[in-house]
Copies of this chain bind each other. A is one copy, B any other.
Amino acid sequence: MKFPRTYTLKEIAQITENEYVGSDDFPVKGINEIHVVEPGDVVFVDHPKYFDKALNSAATVVLINKNVKCPEGKALLISDDPFRDFNKLSVFFKPFQSSSHSISSTAIIGNNTIIQPNTFIGNNVTIGDNCLIHPNVSIYDNCIIGNNVTIHAGTVLGSDAFYYKNRDTGFDKLISCGRVVIKDNVDIGANCTIDKGVTGDTTIGEGTKLDNLIQIAHDTVIGKKCLIASLTAVAGCTIIEDEVTIWGQCGIVSGITIGKKAVLMAQSGVSKSIEGGKVYWGSPVTELRNRQRELIAIKKLPELLKKMK
């Protein structure tokens, strides 16, 4: 998430109420999570295990719970609770704005786009030309929808990331200030849910088609011309490359990559990155022919055990 203008380190430190290491006028342009940081971004880190990764990332401001040596050309915000203070920035720059109308007056809606009744369109949403948004759809603030997009009834774009810190006092939510970005020529079925990015974008690539009741979690990036069948769940921060086909009821964990033109047979479960251009099946997945061999072998197993006795 980029700020509306470049802030100074001093201004940011006043918002977060942190001590800082760096010049008062060190430029700060936005906040981001570690996997999408760019120069000018604040990143947060609160566990020594990840200190080096954060300090060596592209982010130039590190919100950290230890006064470590500041890397050359960077700045630090020193906090006793970086998670809490990162949330302060999200709330300051993207405060939740309630809506008094079903379609916000700040939404920009293109030519020849049809919005059916009972659909909610939040603040600062942009929808392109020739789109068809069916009834009872909910599009949260700041979502971006391209041209020639169809969204079926009951689908939700921009709900919060399911991302919590487990504290003694209960689960503390990492506040989402990212967006959902739907590219041109995408179709989304009925009653799907696509969460916004925590700070970045959850993206559905050009020409991709989603069936009904599909869950796409925060910060996941789906490529071009993918087909995803119903009741599939893709967890957060995962990359699905172009032309991937996913049949129904598959589950894909967070933070992995599904290679280009991979095919997942129905009810597969994917827990590690997999290469493109292959067909996979099972939970956890293996290549289709391996899974088929396993299934044949399992069928013979009861007889085999009987003989061995």
Contact = CB atoms under 8 A, between A and B. Distances in A.
Contacts of A231: 215, 231, 233, 251
Given A118-B118, A162-B229, A193-B191, A266 B294 contact: no
A32 interface: no
A306 to B, nearest CB: 9
A270 B117 CA distance: 37
Nearest to A152: B159
A153 B100 CA distance: 15
A149 to B, nearest CB: 12
A207 interface: yes
A100 B114 CA distance: 10
Interface of A: 96, 98-102, 114, 116-120, 132, 134-138, 140, 150, 152-156, 159-160, 162, 164, 170-171, 173, 185, 187, 189-193, 195, 206-207, 209, 211-213, 215, 217, 225, 227, 229-231, 233, 235, 248-249, 251, 253, 266-267, 269, 271, 283-284, 286, 290, 293-302, 304-305, 308
A138 B138 contact: no
A46 to B, nearest CB: 19
Given A118-B102, A170-B207, A235-B248, A227 B156 contact: no
A100 B117 contact: yes
B134 A171 contact: no
Contacts of A154: 136, 138, 154-156, 191, 193
Given A267-B283, A293-B302, A301-B301, A230 B193 contact: yes
21 contacts: A99-B116, A102-B135, A118-B118, A118-B119, A118-B120, A118-B136, A118-B138, A156-B191, A160-B187, A162-B209, A170-B185, A171-B207, A173-B187, A190-B193, A191-B192, A231-B251, A233-B249, A266-B271, A297-B302, A298-B301, A301-B301
Nearest to A286: B299
A290 B98 CA distance: 49
Contact of A215 (B100, B195, B230, B297): B230
A289 B228 CA distance: 32
Contacts of A212: 156, 159, 162, 193, 195, 215
